[in-house]
Structure 1
Amino acid sequence: MKSVPKLIGRCIRILLFSFILLVILNLVLFILEFTTQKGNGRPWIAAKETAAALCKIGGGYSLPEELSRELEADNVWAVFIDNDTGQVVWKTENLPDSVPMTYSISDIADLTRGYIDGYPTFTGEREDGLVVLGYPRDSFWKHMWPSWDYHLIKNLPFTLLKVLAMNGAAIFLIYMIANSTLLKSVKPITEGIQALSEGEPVHIREKGLLSELALNINRTSDVLQSQNDQLRKKETARANWIAGVSHDIRTPLSMVMGYAGQLQCDGRLTEDQRAKADVILKQSERMRNLINDLNLASKLEYNMQPVKSGPENAVAIVRQVVVDFMNMDIDDKYPIFWETPETLSVCWIQADRDLIKRAVSNLIQNSMNHNEGGCGIYVSVRQNGAKCEILVEDDGIGSSDEQIEKLNNTPHYMVCDENTAEQQHGLGLLIVKQIAASHRGEIIIGHSPRGGFAVKMILDVIYRMPLTLA
């Protein structure tokens, strides 16, 4: 089953795409989140700017008013510690009472990397002292011991890739385990659907996630098998009925034809009576031919007619049929013209000789049957590439475009309407179509350039045969 691997591959591709998309989305969100945060270098810059802007005036210090307003707006306090005494010699007005006013060297080292009473502090150096800015307690988090193992930093990209790969493998494993039951249920379902399309009986175990679907497929299979069995019984009954009726009619029909023939030749009867006997004989012959056609059509439809296929020369077969009809046309009412190119003497096809002769005979007889006033019949064989074309056309009354359309597109050629006296192109063309189909060929029905009816039978050309077989 090709569909199950395709389904598994599609699921895996969706999983990988989802995993990659998830990673990209997380990175984008991570970047967006951190771009909205305050830069961790900004407080240090502010401390250095404050230290640079602090001016000594007389016995004290002063900070420009603009910078003071910025610090106040951010709720930042500031102090300036003298190098010599360690005392706070300048401070802002918002300095909390808990902030010490005297600092030792160890205190300064501690506040430089950490906090004063929970306030994150940042320092700016001056020649005569140190400026310290204190930010609100919930504004920054300071890393107290900013040192990392060298090998950890060096191998960090590889470590991240390894963790990412392990996470992906874990997600894939969880996904496959979670879907294994579903995949096991899908395989028999797809096999069952394929078997249904081929007309085979199907029974799928009704368990698992798709048990309801399996139940419906089993029911569908039972319905289709029941319908197929009934159809086969009907077809068998139909074929047997046709064969039985054909057999039962032949015996009384033979008696009718025999007595009609005797009456036709009886000199004691009047001309009118012999003419009536002649009509009975001709109509009986027509009935016999119709019965034979019906029986043959039934056998071809149900593949009961054996096709004895072999290499045959289509030109020779069709020429023989034309000669037979020429010999039968005593009063030259239906002249037949052989229009096969003289250069084409051999056109090999794989065919049953008798069936091809029957098809060509039906086409010629069809032209005769539907042109009671007589017509010219034109027969030709042509080779068009890998195709052998057998064409039979006439210059008779022809058919309308609507009739031609029906003949080419309906599954049979019987016109069963109320006007049964005007039935057109019955079993004869149906048999021709069936014979062509049994030889993997086709027929095309259309108008003849001569104004009448035309039928082209197209068959495959086979390899060139040895000259000794021609």
Structure 2
Amino acid sequence: MRGPLRARLRGVAGLAASCVLGAVAILAVNMAVVGAAMYAEGLAGGGTAPEASKVSESIVERDGAYAVPPDMEQALRDNDSWALLIDEGGNVVWGLGVPDDVPTRYTPADVASFARWYLNDYPVSCWRRDGKLVVVGSPRGSAWKYSFSQGFDEFSGGVLLLVALFCVNLVSLVVFVSALSRRSWKRRDDARNEWVAAVSHDVRTPLSAVIADASLLMEGPDLDPGDRERVARIVAKSREAAGLLADLNAVNRLRYAMEPIDAGDVRLAAVLRSVAAGFLDEGTGACELELDVAPAAEGVCVRGSESLLRRMAVNLVGNSFRHNPQGCRVTVSLDVRGGLPGTPLGRRLVLVVSDDGRGLGADMLAALGRRSGSDLPEHGLGLVIVRRIAAAHGGEARFSKNAGGGCRCAVTLPAGRRRMKRIPKASPSR
């Protein structure tokens, strides 16, 4: 089950990463829109009144009189702003465009009142200059001033609250998108299962008729040896097509219909002997078959489905026979490795099927070495089923070339009583 679990975890991780990147992108777009809106509003508003610090820097004193350069004066007038200068005694010693309702004398309490707020409802900014106070005012209702203060503990709590809200929103987004994706994936998988089942049923019926009619025809007394050989080839190829159709159904169930069934303790050595006997009874042609079971592996069980493990062995041996019509030597071995001495913990059953035939091509070996995906291969479907059956039983299948030629597959399975949480629904062995 590690293969499907890893695939699901990769899907969830990809989904979460997509949601995080999406949230960051949305936040960046929102900030860009707000910034653009503020910039456009500033352009439309024609600017703001000069700050009191700038006005203070521009004030020039000559013979006890104060003035500002023409450009600063024009800037104040363009924004309907005004400015005044208050000395240490609270008297206004200079002013420019000051409204009539603005006082000309101020007490310290008056200064403390308007320094950060409003002067007669005029929003103002202040700046200190050589013991004097520069005040720049804007029209009533042109600005909103508000003073806000908060303790550090409260501020930290607010930041943590914002972070928590962001995390909650992100998790909600992930759950929502995951639910939608799961529904979409389920509809796709259901449609694929229905399509494969319908095609398999429609193709299996005429194939059975072809096999039955060709078998009857082959037994007829009127056929010459050449025709009888051609009819026998039709029967063999039709049965091979039926086997490929069964493999297609099996790989589809292994990928999309992981349903719990009753699993049992399977003696893999007995299964291999039964498979070998079946091939020997049917005839191995120009190939030779050898079975070697180590004494330590005789009574060791695998927790799983006997029909699936039988299909795995049939596919491995049949693949060597099918792709080596010129003949080869097929060796099937079973042994036990690893584990703590005297205990079944960590023990692994290792099934090796090898031949000295023409072997697998580089493309096929590369395809079998890739991670299991949803796409079915163009060829080698039986070996893909081997890999998925091994993964469903908590093991793995590795394919390689033999040093002297031919191919080799090593299937490693957990030995002893190991309860499986989920196991693919068994398909009929062929």
Q: Structure 2 vs 1, CA of residues 432 and 305 (structure 1 numbering), >3 Å: closer, same or farther?
A: farther
Superposed CA RMSD in Å reads: 2.5
Which of 156, 170, 174 pairs up with 1:179? 156
Q: Which residue of 1 aligns with 2:225?
A: 271
Q: Which residue of 2 aligns with 1:170?
A: none
Q: Which residue of 1 aligns with 2:290?
A: 337
Q: Structure 2 vs 1, CA of residues 288 and 436 (structure 1 numbering), >3 Å: closer, same or farther?
A: same
Q: Using the TM superposition, give the Cα deviation of residue 229 of structure 1 relative to its aligned residue in structure 2, in angstroms.
A: 2.4
Encode CA deviations 1:265-323: one digit per residue, 9 max, x unaligned: 11123333323222221121111111111111111111356543222222222222222
Q: Which residue of 2 aligns with 1:404?
A: 365
Aligned 8 A contact 1:264 1:274 in 2: yes
Q: Structure 2 vs 1, CA of residues 325 and 449 (structure 1 numbering), >3 Å: closer, same or farther?
A: farther
Which of 296, 311, 329 pairs up with 1:376? 329
Identity %: 27
Aligned 8 A contact 1:442 1:457 in 2: yes
Aligned equivalents of 2:166, 2:366: Cα separation in 1: 43
Question: Mean Cα displacement is larger for which, 220-229 or 430-439?
Answer: 220-229
Q: Say whether residues 1:297 and 2:251 are aligned partners.
A: yes
Q: Which residue of 1 aligns with 2:202?
A: 248
Question: Mean Cα displacement is larger for which, 355-364 or 296-305?
Answer: 296-305
Aligned equivalents of 2:414, 2:318: Cα separation in 1: 24
Which of 279, 284, 289 pairs up with 1:325? 279
Aligned 8 A contact 1:326 1:335 in 2: no
Aligned equivalents of 1:289, 1:362: Cα separation in 2: 10
Q: Which residue of 2 aligns with 1:363?
A: 316
Aligned equivalents of 1:346, 1:367: Cα separation in 2: 27
Q: Structure 2 vs 1, CA of residues 462 and 185 (structure 1 numbering), >3 Å: closer, same or farther?
A: farther
Q: Which residue of 2 aligns with 1:101?
A: none
Encode CA deviations 1:122-154: one digit per residue, 9 max, x unaligned: xxxxxxxxxxxxxxxxxxxxxxxxxxxxxxxxx
Aligned equivalents of 1:258, 1:453: Cα separation in 2: 35
Aligned 8 A contact 1:264 1:277 in 2: yes
Aligned equivalents of 2:154, 2:320: Cα separation in 1: 73
Aligned equivalents of 1:281, 1:326: Cα separation in 2: 19
Aligned 8 A contact 2:287 2:329 in 1: yes
For structure 1, list consecutive stretches of 5 or more residues without a partner in the other structure.
1-172, 196-201, 203-217, 417-422, 465-470
**AA partner of residue 319 (structure 2):** N
Q: Which residue of 2 aligns with 1:390?
A: 351
Aligned equivalents of 1:356, 1:234: Cα separation in 2: 29
**AA partner of residue 182 (structure 1):** V
Encode CA deviations 1:25-70: one digit per residue, 9 max, x unaligned: xxxxxxxxxxxxxxxxxxxxxxxxxxxxxxxxxxxxxxxxxxxxxx
Aligned 8 A contact 1:445 1:454 in 2: yes
Aligned equivalents of 2:368, 2:333: Cα separation in 1: 22
1:435-450 aligned within 5 A = 435-450=389-404
Q: Structure 2 vs 1, CA of residues 224 and 292 (structure 1 numbering), >3 Å: closer, same or farther?
A: same
Q: Using the TM superposition, give the Cα deviation of residue 359 of structure 1 relative to its aligned residue in structure 2, in angstroms.
A: 0.4
Q: Using the TM superposition, give the Cα deviation of residue 415 of structure 1 relative to its aligned residue in structure 2, in angstroms.
A: 5.3
Encode CA deviations 1:181-223: one digit per residue, 9 max, x unaligned: 3322322433554x5xxxxxx2xxxxxxxxxxxxxxx3x6655
Q: Say whether residues 1:455 and 2:409 are aligned partners.
A: yes
**AA partner of residue 323 (structure 1):** A
Encode CA deviations 1:98-122: one digit per residue, 9 max, x unaligned: xxxxxxxxxxxxxxxxxxxxxxxxx
Encode CA deviations 1:298-357: one digit per residue, 9 max, x unaligned: 1111135654322222222222222222222265x2211112224542222212111111
Aligned equivalents of 1:348, 1:269: Cα separation in 2: 50
SS in 1 for 2:411: strand
Aligned equivalents of 1:323, 1:192: Cα separation in 2: 62
**AA partner of residue 254 (structure 2):** L
SS in 2 for 1:371: coil
Q: Using the TM superposition, give the Cα deviation of residue 394 of structure 1 relative to its aligned residue in structure 2, in angstroms.
A: 0.6
Aligned 8 A contact 2:292 2:332 in 1: yes
For structure 2, list consecutive stretches of 5 or more residues without a partner in the other structure.
1-149, 339-346, 419-430
Aligned 8 A contact 2:251 2:385 in 1: yes
How many residue pairs were aligned?
Answer: 260
Aligned equivalents of 2:219, 2:257: Cα separation in 1: 42
Q: Structure 2 vs 1, CA of residues 410 and 453 (structure 1 numbering), >3 Å: closer, same or farther?
A: same
SS in 1 for 2:320: helix
Q: Structure 2 vs 1, CA of residues 305 and 277 (structure 1 numbering), >3 Å: closer, same or farther?
A: farther
Q: Which residue of 2 aligns with 1:261?
A: 215
Q: Which residue of 2 aligns with 1:11?
A: none
1:102-113 aligned within 5 A = none
SS in 2 for 1:339: strand
SS in 1 for 2:206: helix
Aligned 8 A contact 1:329 1:335 in 2: no
Q: Using the TM superposition, give the Cα deviation of residue 236 of structure 1 relative to its aligned residue in structure 2, in angstroms.
A: 1.0
Aligned equivalents of 1:431, 1:306: Cα separation in 2: 18
Encode CA deviations 1:231-258: one digit per residue, 9 max, x unaligned: 2211110111001111122222211111
Q: Structure 2 vs 1, CA of residues 225 and 241 (structure 1 numbering), >3 Å: closer, same or farther?
A: same
Per the normalisation by structure 1, the TM-score is 0.51
SS in 1 for 2:151: helix
